[in-house]
Structures are given as C-alpha cells and as structure tokens.
Structure 1
Amino acid sequence: MSRILLIEDHDRLARLMCKGLAAAGIAVDVIGRIDAAWTAVQQMSYQALVLDRGLPDGDGLVLLRKLRKAGLGVPCLVLTARDALHDRVEGLEAGADDYLPKPFAMDEMVARVRALLRRPVEFRPLDPSHGDLTLRPDAGILCSGDESVALAPAEMQVMLLFLRKHEAVVRRSALEAAAWGLSEAVTPNALDVALHRIRRKLLAIGSRQRIVNVRGLGYALREDDLAE
C-alpha cells in the first residue's frame, strides 16, 4: 500500500480525503502544521504529499520550498482556495507537481494523487545495502552472503531506515514512524519486539552488523567490533 502525507488542518475535509484515498488503496498520515510536517518528512519515506496552502503556522508553500531546497523530490499536490493565475504560478514555481483549487471533487483529488504516485521519485537503490547486508524489499528478505531471512513488513521498514542512514543514530520515534506510520496506534513495546526479532535474524544469517542502543539518543546499525 502506498503511503502519503496530507498536510491539512480542516478536520472534516481531512477525514473525507482520507476516506476517499483509503478506498483507492492509499494510506494517509494527516498533519495540520508546517513544523510538524517537516519533522514527519524527515522520519518517513512518503510516496507523495498533499499540501494545503492555508495552514495555522503559515503558507504551505514555505514547507514546499524548504523541502525542495533540501533536495527532497517527493511529488506534491498543492490544495488551495486561491485560484488566481498568479497563485497557481507561484505554487508551481515553489516546486509543486500539481495544483488543485478548492472546492474540488473527491474523485478528481484521488485521480491526481494516483497520477503523482506513478511518477518517479528521488533515486534510491532497489536493493539497499550496507556492510555485509543487502535488503531485497521485493522479496521481503534480508541477505548476508549466501544466507537470507524473511522480514515482517514492520521489520522491513526498520531495516530500510537503518540501511539508508548507514551507521548514523536513528531516534526511536523515527523507527516507529517508519514501521507503522504516524497515525497507526502501536503498543509501547512494539518497537522493542521488532528490534529483538531483527537482532535474532542478523545472528541467524551470520551478519557482522548489530543494532546497538546509543543511550539517550536512539539506535544505530554498527559492525560488532565497533559496538560498545
């Protein structure tokens, strides 16, 4: 299932949009502020953004410009009640891929999001790797040399984040968001269980990589001779 981020502060409209997108097989995280959306995009790999311009903490284009300046090419559909030509031009020049004025038909909004999801996003290796590990998301397996082990969906997302960060420390909240999204309720120890299972699987395939707890900061993927 594709996952997108909807940045919209109007609760009723956001619920209707989520319902329409879910019916099309698209999972949605909803955030109503620019600052929180910026944090979410750092934690999650979204396939697309749907961005309202009129947000409580400013114009949504502020967020879009910040994303593009940071080199994040995730496709973005901008929503707005401003329908003047110069407003549409401003949105496109800020980095929007599409522009939909309010009010709009839900069917059209869903169709436009699906069109965005068909576009190529920023390049990432199909089979990300680090050290002796290679992840094969298409097959749902983690490999080390000739050995491999199956990963559950949440475990797969956790390992994707670790491999993309290489040996950098990843915060617990970022791992939880990657594994279950921002809107799905999870038990307090769900991440601990997932990490325990991944650690056992790393040992089972003979990998030198270990998930270590960096006290007070989060977790990191390190070779065993570097782990403290």
Structure 2
Amino acid sequence: MSRILLVEDHDRLARLMCKGLVAAGIAVDVTDRIDSAWAAVQQMPYQALILDRGLPDGDGLILLQKLRNAGLGVPCLVLTARDALHDRVQGLEAGADDYLPKPFAMDEMVARVRALLRRPVEFHPLDPSHGDLTLRPEAGVLCSGDESVTLAPAELHIMQLLLHKPKEVVRRSALEAAAWGLSEAVTPNALDVALHRIRRKLLAIGSRQRIVNVRGLGYTLRENDVAE
C-alpha cells in the first residue's frame, strides 16, 4: 500500500479526503502545519504529498520550497482556494507537480494522486539486498541463500528501510513511522517486539546480518562478526 502525507488544516475536508484515498488503497498520514509536516517527511519516505496553501503557520509553498531545496523530489499536489493563473504558476514554479483548486471532486483528487504515485521519484531496487540478505516485498519474504522466511507487514517495512540504508544508522522514530505510519497509535514496545521477531528470523535463515542497536542513535545492519 502506498503511503502519502496530507497537509490540510480543515478537519472535515481532511477526513473526507482520507476516506476517499483509503478506499482507493492509499494510506494517509495527516498533519495541519508546515513544521509538523517537515518533521514527518524526515521520518517517513512518503510516495506523494498533498499540500494545502493556507496553513496556520504560513503558505504551504514554504514547505514545498524547503523540500525542493533539500533535494527531496517527492511528488506534490497543491490544493488551494486560490484559482488565479498567477497562483497556479507560483505553485508550479515552487516545485509542485500538480495543482487542484478548491472545491474539487474527490474522484478527481484521487485520480490525480494516483497519477503522482506512478511517477518515479527515487530509484530503489524492487528486491533490495545487502550482504547475504534479499527482501522480496511482493511476496513478503526475506531470503538468505536458499533459505527464506515470511515477514509480517510491519517487519517487512522495517527491513525495507534498513536495506535501503544499509550503511546508515536509522532512527527509532523512522522505523516506527515506516512500520505503522504517523497516524496509527503504537504501543511503546511495538518496535522492540518487531525487531525481536526479525532477529529470530534472521537466525532461522542462517543470515550473517544482525540488527544492531547503536545506543542513542538508532539501528543498523551489521555482519555478526562485528562486535555489538
């Protein structure tokens, strides 16, 4: 399931948009401010962004420009009550991929988001691998050599993020966001339980890779001959 970020401060509209997107098989995290949206995109690799312009802490284009200046190419659909030509041009020049004036039909909004999701943003291998591990997301399977094990959805998302950043330490908050999104309530030890299960599965398939806790920083993959 694709996951997008909706930045919209109108509660009723946000709920209606979420309902339409979820019905189309698109998971949605919602925030209503520029600062919280900026924090969210640091934690979660969203496939697309829906951005309102009139937000409590400023014009949504401020966030879009910040994203583009940081080299983040996540596709963005800008929503606004402003329908003047110069407003649309301003949004596109700020880095928007599409522009939808309010009011709009939910079916059209969903169709435009689907179109954005078909656009390639950043190349990731379909079956990410590192060392002796290969993840097959479509099958929900983690492989090492001829051995394989099935992963639960949260475990799959955690391994995807770790394998996409095999030489980096990934923060706990980023793993939680990848596994459950920002909108879902998660118990404090949910990540620890998921990591425990993944570690057992790594042993079961005979992998040399281990998920290592780098104290105070996060988690990374290392071969088991490296001291933990």
TM-score normalised to the size of structure 2? 0.94
Structure 2 residue 59 is the aligned partner of structure 1 residue 59:
yes
Deviation at 1:88, TM superposition (A): 0.5
- Once residues 131 and 45 of structure 1 are traced to their aligned partners in structure 2, the CA distance between those partners, rounded to angstroms, is 23
What is aligned with 2:123? 123
Which 5+ residue runs of structure 1 have no aligned equivalent? none
Cα deviation, 1:139-177, whole Å, max 9, x if unaligned, reads 211112222211111101000111112132222111111
What is aligned with 2:39? 39
Which 5+ residue runs of structure 2 have no aligned equivalent? none
What is aligned with 2:84? 84
SS at match of 1:28: strand
RMSD: 1.5
8 A Cα contact 1:210 1:227, kept in partner: no
8 A Cα contact 2:47 2:74, kept in partner: yes
Letter in 2 for 1:84: A
SS at match of 1:71: coil
Q: Which stretch shifts more, 30-39 or 150-159?
A: 30-39
- Once residues 155 and 123 of structure 1 are traced to their aligned partners in structure 2, the CA distance between those partners, rounded to angstroms, is 22
Deviation at 1:121, TM superposition (A): 2.8
What is aligned with 2:16? 16
- Once residues 121 and 167 of structure 1 are traced to their aligned partners in structure 2, the CA distance between those partners, rounded to angstroms, is 21
What is aligned with 1:137? 137
What is aligned with 2:109? 109
Letter in 2 for 1:132: D
- Once residues 61 and 78 of structure 1 are traced to their aligned partners in structure 2, the CA distance between those partners, rounded to angstroms, is 8
Paired residue total: 228
Q: How does 1:149-168 map to 2 (within 5 A)?
A: 149-168=149-168
Letter in 1 for 2:49: L
- Once residues 123 and 89 of structure 1 are traced to their aligned partners in structure 2, the CA distance between those partners, rounded to angstroms, is 29
8 A Cα contact 2:140 2:152, kept in partner: yes
What is aligned with 2:206? 206
TM-score normalised to the size of structure 1? 0.94
8 A Cα contact 1:4 1:28, kept in partner: yes
Deviation at 1:69, TM superposition (A): 2.6
8 A Cα contact 1:7 1:31, kept in partner: yes
- Once residues 65 and 124 of structure 1 are traced to their aligned partners in structure 2, the CA distance between those partners, rounded to angstroms, is 24
What is aligned with 1:188? 188
What is aligned with 2:69? 69
- Once residues 115 and 219 of structure 1 are traced to their aligned partners in structure 2, the CA distance between those partners, rounded to angstroms, is 34
Letter in 1 for 2:163: L
SS at match of 1:64: helix
- Once residues 90 and 115 of structure 2 are traced to their aligned partners in structure 1, the CA distance between those partners, rounded to angstroms, is 21
- Once residues 112 and 32 of structure 2 are traced to their aligned partners in structure 1, the CA distance between those partners, rounded to angstroms, is 21
Letter in 2 for 1:220: T
What is aligned with 2:96? 96
What is aligned with 1:219? 219
- Once residues 29 and 137 of structure 1 are traced to their aligned partners in structure 2, the CA distance between those partners, rounded to angstroms, is 22
8 A Cα contact 2:124 2:164, kept in partner: no
8 A Cα contact 1:209 1:224, kept in partner: yes
In the TM superposition, structure 1's runs of 4+ consecutive aligned residues that sit over 4 Å from their partners are none
- Once residues 164 and 93 of structure 1 are traced to their aligned partners in structure 2, the CA distance between those partners, rounded to angstroms, is 31
